[in-house]
Structure 1
């Protein structure tokens, strides 16, 4: 038999198999509710391709990768049907921290066994929980979320098949991921791009402005440096209280902060043998910020009156809206200034840009007691986080420290 007649069909079959494994994707998104106002998509095949390419070009990591896989457990045998696009969504009217996802299961019993190996607590009625991750299993579906508030409602929607099937092309365009904000029929998309030592989230391909701001801010040494105009103050206040931006009359915000470890005195009382009350002092190290916050206002008197109405200013002119005490709030002709009294910080000159720059600090992740070793390791690897805005263009950059391995192999 002619070898060419055998090889050619094999090559064609291999090419078809590679296409379906690497390039062909099911773009039907079935699990995004109608009342979702934000969606995160992860292109699993693209991320997997990036991982395999990085692994192939870093052979020194091959042996370490095997050991890691054995210790953490593999999703391959977990009973999950791995999707082409992982769909994570936020429901309108819920807290900003509440996000949900729906997983398809090939074998629910295998998945339950996998959860037990990962130390999930069985809460009964096919409900499981580990820390702030909540799961409910029904047949060949699992609804997961950072809250249990909407699990049952989402499960009912899946059962009634009331969710509209959406097209992935409306949300993501050849990037590792995307985050989209939905308002009626309008969808605003931000790409999520994973590079060797940074993650970028943006709605514009031009990052020159953000990089220029980052270059200037990196020359400083403050933990926090931010500058926001009226529109950005309004956008960020929506995460906390929609009325703050308008009621406070704030039109500009400049703030800087540093972290410091200080001794905290704890006073308790004991009784001696004669039942006399004896004061006992103990000391512990805590991390607190030193800061200065400058708020420019259209009407400083109204700003002051608003803070007083919220009971954020006490009789000693301390701003209690910030939990880090002691501080002092003062009014001037342009607005109000809040300063920590221990070590107030002199504000740097205005950059006339909209940005939030957070520089990593060992005091930050060492003080986060609720985080596990893996989370602390990831946070410790971050160099800085930067948000920037210019007109209708927005960027977020998570910059990691330079390392021998790209992020996808480190994290």
Structure 2
């Protein structure tokens, strides 16, 4: 009887402890500024649970995880206070590539030591940089980002003000591993992020069957790039370039395909010998160049042609100069215009009457990206394809990895 009296309270205490450690989450988002227009949230407890489950079910990874935990590069022992929701945000009127986050530090000196162990360069005034990652330590906080342009603004808005806006995580995320949200005034548009066995999915619709039809069609191709977009999707994409191409050019849809090829390019230079005679020197280098075809349908092909001419995208040789890869040829026909490369032409796959973009992996792509680290090249080489789909306002992005012995969460 006495044992029961002791065991029951201990069991209840254990249950409460497990709840707070594994399930209870602080949903107060304190580090998203009012001028943010996009927010990415990662549920760190859900991510940790998913990682541990994958680790337990893949014993082959156990020895590697032990070695990793002993290394000085472990984030767990870096002095960072891991939040329940990692908050990454983009600030209005900044470049698309600029993203920031604010981290709480349990031990600023230990975190500085962690940065040094990762060969992060000290820039002075508590600022650090490694490649395209920037860090600034302010007391028990660290502002991190892909740029340092907004560090001072973030510091004033969040770290030195007691009147900032505290967001609720439920406005952005609902029981998924992560989310990406776009903020426009009081309107918030949310997209869920899920990490599966060998793919990452981002979408704004809980019913995946709506876009599975697109995937089943698009995945059957074999070109490096294939895309098909209607007028609305063309309008959405050209907003990034502040161009109203779909409206001004009378374009109704666009279909394109491209492949990558490695070619030998001869560069001719001239030198002078000892007698100042001009000597021709030829150098052959291998370059990556796409072969492509773009088919544009239009309500008024003549107006489409005139629009391209007004933008100075067609030269005297009927080359479409808005595509930088030359040579190519642009041709007007009854239904629109066609642009195709004249070197190694390709055949256009049939129209699927869907809105999608699919980019398949190609060794020529990542081998030509000299600035990538070994880890980044390994991750890119592991990707099979990236697929974007859209149907009636339902958007979906799938990053599909190649089949492997381990799930993505243990590979990357």
Does TM, normalized by the shorter one, top 0.5?
yes
Q: Secondary structure at the match of 2:240?
A: coil
State the match for 1:121 in structure 2.
Answer: 121
* Compared CA separation, residues 249 and 99, structure 1 to 2 (3 A): farther
State the match for 2:336 in structure 1.
Answer: 335
Tell me the alpha carbon deviations over residues 165-215 of structure 1, each in whole angstroms, 9 at most, x when there is no partner.
010001000100001111111111110011101111011122224323222
Q: How does 1:349-364 map to 2 (within 5 A)?
A: 349-364=350-365
Tell me the alpha carbon deviations over residues 201-245 of structure 1, each in whole angstroms, 9 at most, x when there is no partner.
011122224323222233221111110011111111122334344
Q: How does 1:10-409 map to 2 (within 5 A)?
A: 10-70=10-70, 73-158=73-158, 159-409=160-410
- 1:162, distance to aligned residue in structure 2 (A): 4.0
Unpaired segments ≥5 residues, structure 1:
none
Q: Secondary structure at the match of 2:170?
A: helix
TM-score, normalisation: structure 2: 0.95
- 1:357, distance to aligned residue in structure 2 (A): 0.9
* Compared CA separation, residues 20 and 112, structure 1 to 2 (3 A): same
* Compared CA separation, residues 89 and 2, structure 1 to 2 (3 A): same
- 1:359, distance to aligned residue in structure 2 (A): 1.1
Asked if structure 2 preserves the Cα contact closer than 8 Å seen for 1:254 and 1:293, the reply is yes
- 1:69, distance to aligned residue in structure 2 (A): 4.2
In structure 2, C-alpha distance between the alignment counterparts of 1:279 and 1:335, rounded to whole Å = 45
Q: Secondary structure at the match of 2:8?
A: helix
- 1:70, distance to aligned residue in structure 2 (A): 4.5
In structure 2, C-alpha distance between the alignment counterparts of 1:24 and 1:341, rounded to whole Å = 61
**How many residues are paired up?**
411
TM-score, normalisation: structure 1: 0.96
Deviation larger for 147-156 or 36-45: 147-156
State the match for 2:6 in structure 1.
Answer: 6
Asked if structure 2 preserves the Cα contact closer than 8 Å seen for 1:96 and 1:239, the reply is no
* Compared CA separation, residues 310 and 110, structure 1 to 2 (3 A): farther
**After TM superposition, where is structure 1 displaced by more than 6 Å over at least 4 residues in a row?**
none
Unpaired segments ≥5 residues, structure 2:
none
